[in-house]
Structure 1
Amino acid sequence: MAIKLIAGLGNIGARYFNTRHNVGSKYVELLAKKYRVILSKSDMLCGYVGKLALENNVVYLLIPDSYMNNNGLAISKFVDFYQLHVEEILIAHDDLDLPPGVIRIKLGKKNNDSHNGLRDIVVRLNNQFNFYRLRIGIGHPGEKSKVINFVLNKPSIYEKLRIDNVINEVILYTENIAAKNFVKVMNQLHSYKPNV
């Protein structure tokens, strides 16, 4: 099964624009911009939705219209409306365990308690967790007590350049991602060296 939905997690509102926690939604925004896809507000699907026509596949793009802790609502509504299998979903999100400028793709695991957005998705999908994840590295502040403030603030200029560069790089492999040619994508991204 090909990827049918790419959703980018984040918090809605100007306060959170360009924060570390919103790099998932930023990926979808830049992907839509690259392919000239308009993301339109859908009250029924609780988010901003677009349709990306690729050579061998059609992929829907989604940015939930909610705070991170409730991002699963839009995903579950989308899955129900379009009758998607969870294996047809790619969720783009920030990842504290990866440094800025690093991206990894993996199949979800049962325990996603460390990320509120992922946890909400799993709950709203009736504990189905085997969707794909595009993990976008944002780094870690070093102490657990600093995490909330860290993710809700903007990255440094250096970090932002690294994050933007690697997002733009992964966008080049959109057709391979949609076709689940993840080995090819990761072979390219593992050798990718940010120029900042």
Structure 2
Amino acid sequence: MNVLAFFKNAFSLNIETKEECMKKFLIIGLGNIGAEYTNTRHNIGFKIVDEVAKEYKTTFETEKLGDVATFRLKGRTFILLKPSTYMNLSGKAVKYWMDKENISIENILIVTDDVHIDFGTIRIKAKGSAGGHNGLKDIQQVLNTQEYPRFRFGVGANYSKGRQADFVLGLWSKEETSQLIERLPTAAKIITSFGTAGLSNTMNEFNGK
């Protein structure tokens, strides 16, 4: 192989690699590890990515800084991440897996609870403040930006003053648990829509539902 052919092949390989990276999406469900947190409101991010994994028949494996599952759909690769750093240090896991998989910030989606919107209500945004959420605060600090896509699932604010932490770390009520069964499939569709239809189309289709 002559020098010109070598560089042509190397250039083509780099282009293909870049294109493949653009088709990879990192979906981060926020939550806390441990059985005592499994059915708490703060762990809705874990619950949603678990729903996606179940639908696409993939399983989580424990890897560095989190549990990870992967599946492909319509030529896209979805990497589901449940950080093992606990909620308040979520940024470390997000940054590590972004770098490891060479995924750009517009191709990540943070899935989290939100006490500022009614239970079951969906809000998808391209950027925004942390809104008092410690997991989002840490991600913002580590990534040094507020401009990253996020999917907020409303858990409501049915708590008295000073009891927010108890509320989000509390278990779902029976009524909420029943309604979650209906809401989780929609949440899973949002994840795949983000990767296949894009952020704008996903916001237009699902916001407020």
TM-score normalised by the chain length of structure 1: 0.87
Q: Tell me the C-alpha RMSD between the 2 structures.
A: 1.9
5+ residue gaps, structure 1: none
- Give distance in 1, aligned partners of 2:33 and 2:208: 33
Instruction: Write the deviation string for residues 135-181 of structure 1: whole angstroms up to 9, x where unpaired.
Output: 01100134440100000011211122223322212323443221343
Letter in 1 for 2:57: R
1:172 alignment partner, SS class: helix
- Give distance in 1, aligned partners of 2:208 and 2:136: 27
- Give distance in 1, aligned partners of 2:137 and 2:190: 27
Cα 1:95/1:173, change in 2 over 3 Å:
closer
Asked if the contact 1:7/1:63 (under 8 Å) is kept, the reply is yes
Query: Residues 64-143 of structure 1 correspond to what in structure 2 (within 5 A)?
Result: 64-109=83-128, 111-125=129-143, 127-143=144-160
Cα 1:181/1:80, change in 2 over 3 Å:
closer
Letter in 1 for 2:139: I
Instruction: Write the deviation string for residues 53-85 of structure 1: whole angstroms up to 9, x where unpaired.
Output: 001311111000121101111101001212221
Residue 185 of structure 1: how far off its partner (Å): 3.7
Task: Tell me whether 1:38 sits opposite 2:59 in the alignment.
Answer: yes
Using the TM superposition, name which of 78-87 and 21-30 deviates more.
78-87
Asked if the contact 1:49/1:62 (under 8 Å) is kept, the reply is yes
Letter in 1 for 2:115: L
Number of residues paired by the alignment? Answer: 188
Question: Aligned match of 2:186 in 164, 169, 191?
Answer: 169
Structure possessing the higher radius of gyration over alpha carbons: 2
* Residue of structure 2 equivalent to 1:26: 47
Instruction: Write the deviation string for residues 12-44 of structure 1: whole angstroms up to 9, x where unpaired.
Output: 10111110000011101111011011110002x
- Give distance in 2, aligned partners of 1:54 and 1:36: 12
TM-score normalised by the chain length of structure 2: 0.82
5+ residue gaps, structure 2: 1-21
Residue 112 of structure 1: how far off its partner (Å): 1.2
- Give distance in 2, aligned partners of 1:119 and 1:191: 24
- Give distance in 2, aligned partners of 1:160 and 1:182: 28
* Residue of structure 1 equivalent to 2:68: 49
- Give distance in 2, aligned partners of 1:100 and 1:21: 12
Query: Residues 1-20 of structure 1 correspond to what in structure 2 (within 5 A)?
Result: 4-20=25-41
- Give distance in 2, aligned partners of 1:131 and 1:3: 15
1:159 alignment partner, SS class: helix
Letter in 2 for 1:167: L
Identity among equivalent positions (%) equals: 35
